Amino acid sequence: MFAVWRSGALNQSTFCLIVSLAMADFLVGCLAVPLALLEGMKIETSFSSCLFISCVLIVPLQASVLNLLAIAVDRCLRVCIPFRYKSSVNKRHSWSWLLAGVCWMLACLLGFIPMFGWYNHETLKELNSTSFNCEFKAVIPTSYMVNFIFCGVFIPPLVIMIALYSYIFFKIRSLSRGKAGVAESETYTQKEHRLAVSLLLVLVLFVVFWLPLNVMHTINFYSQNTQVSASVMYCGVILSHANSVVNPVVYAFKVPKIRAEFSMIWRQVTGSRQQEDRISRTPEIQTRAGDGNICQVDFNAGK
């Protein structure tokens, strides 16, 4: 997020949405992971508090899916109607922040649906006191995770994004063939192709890291004979959270503007450290030089 801000790319809609996606990764690291650890420790809390914590864990997933979908739509518009896109969208880039805000509002709405009644009523009925050992599966029903989150919110946007990126690459290839030999057109298509590949990689990694956990929930819900063990489920949770660690690396190495800004920040940091090292060594060198001069004077005086 800092690198995008430093590069001045926030006036471009795609990078605004990338920052919104990075915010979801940041929340996973600073909020979702600690809360997941608390639930893993089975802390004693009230049913409502445990339900609220579990809903918070779901929100970053929904935000990531919706932001990835918004990025795919934005890229498709840029490739399909480039002149209208440049004249309207880039000049009025506030719409991208509005779109990011809508994504987060929908993510919060979808993530907090269990608070409005779609929770595990059996756990609430079995409670003998006001508090119990908080667990995600004890308050969030598997039907919500499978039928609503996976089948309703995860799969349809994924299919739409695959279709959009397939059309984007088809359009870029047709543009490069139709305007072969034109330097400006080739530069534009190459730039769009590189950015599309980078964003597609982010999407592929998201699916790779999050799909196993959703498949495990589906197996536990629909299969009566086969149940995924708790240890395997925890591995799936860790894998899904690891996606938030990998995404910044992809941004830093695959998106040209962010990579250039990261390189500049790295050079500034390492350069300042080298300068501090030289400054700190200067008094030592001067001291050694002074000692040498003193020794030389004493030696001559002895003669």
Give pLDDT tens digits for 143-189.
999 999 999 999 999 999 999 999 988 888 887 776 655 555 667 67
pLDDT confidence of residue 246: 85
What percent of the chain is modeled with pLDDT above 70?
Answer: 73
CB 51 within 8 A of CB 119: yes
Q: List alpha helices for the chain, DSSP H.
A: 2-7, 13-27, 33-40, 47-80, 82-84, 94-111, 121-126, 136-139, 142-143, 155-178, 183-222, 230-254, 256-302
* Tens of pLDDT, residues 54-67: 999 899 889 989 99
H or E element in which residue 45 lies: strand 44-46
In three-state secondary structure terms, 44 is strand
- Lowest average pLDDT, out of 170-174, 251-255, 274-278, goes to 274-278
**66-74 average pLDDT score:** 89
* Ordered domains of the chain (ranges, CATH): 2-283 (1.20.1070.10)
Can you tell me the distance from the alpha carbon of 268 to that of 253, in angstroms, rounded to the nearest whole number?
18
User: pLDDT (tens digit, 9 = 90+) per residue, 110-136?
Assistant: 999 999 989 988 888 877 667 788 888
Q: What is the pLDDT of residue 16?
A: 80
